[in-house]
């Protein structure tokens, strides 16, 4: 059983990037990150770009306004092509909570809650990652094979 079984996709040529990686330390960077996301979603032929971009904006804005910046932002279509998975890392351990009292800053989480199939937070070494899965058909166009 030592025969090399090379099943890697060795096809050459441009490959559609399967993940967006960026960061945002200030509000201006939020807009830039959002623009890059929309660009990427277009490439992935996402059918819910507005929803995904809205949740993305809220996650990134929350990190910038309340957690000192989004240290790392990641977006990729799920394996089943039925969600896009967003991750926003920050350096604040505290978990965001929806503001029931109506204070500004709380509405974003309601938007995330409404548009995401599921979302949550996971502690990291220096803070946390807030993640969300937004239902959509995304990344359906992949290299043949
Ligand atoms: Zn999508």
pLDDT digits (tens, 9 = 90+) for 113-129: 999 999 999 999 999 99
The dihedral of CA 88, 91, 94, 99: what is its sign? negative
CA angle in degrees (0–180, nearest 5) for 102-127-20: 90
Tell me how far the alpha carbon of residue 103 lies from the centroid of ligand 1, in angstroms: 31
CB atoms within 10 A of CB 2: 4
pLDDT of res. 85: 96
Q: Does domain 20-135 have CATH number 3.30.565.10?
A: yes
Question: What pLDDT score does 109 carry?
Answer: 84
37 CA distance to ligand 1 middle (Å): 10
User: What is the 68 CA–ligand 1 centroid distance (Å)?
Assistant: 28
pTM: 0.81
Confidence of residue 12 (pLDDT cuts 50, 70, 90): low
SS3 state of residue 97: coil
The domain ranges of the chain are: 20-135
């Amino acid at each position: 059983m030592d025969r090399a079984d090379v099943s890697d996709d060795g096809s050459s040529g441009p490959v559609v990037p399967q993940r967006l990686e960026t960061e945002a330390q200030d509000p201006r960077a939020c807009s830039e990150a959002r623009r890059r996301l929309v660009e990427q979603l277009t490439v992935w032929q996402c059918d819910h770009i507005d929803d995904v971009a809205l949740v993305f904006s809220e996650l990134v804005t929350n990190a910038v306004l309340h957690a000192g910046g989004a240290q790392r932002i990641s977006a990729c279509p799920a394996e089943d092509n039925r969600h896009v998975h967003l991750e926003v890392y920050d350096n604040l351990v505290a978990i965001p909570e929806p503001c029931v009292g109506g204070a500004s800053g709380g509405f974003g989480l309601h938007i995330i809650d409404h548009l995401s199939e599921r979302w949550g937070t996971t502690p990291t070494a220096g803070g946390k990652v807030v993640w969300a899965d937004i239902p959509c058909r995304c990344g359906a166009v992949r290299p043949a094979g």
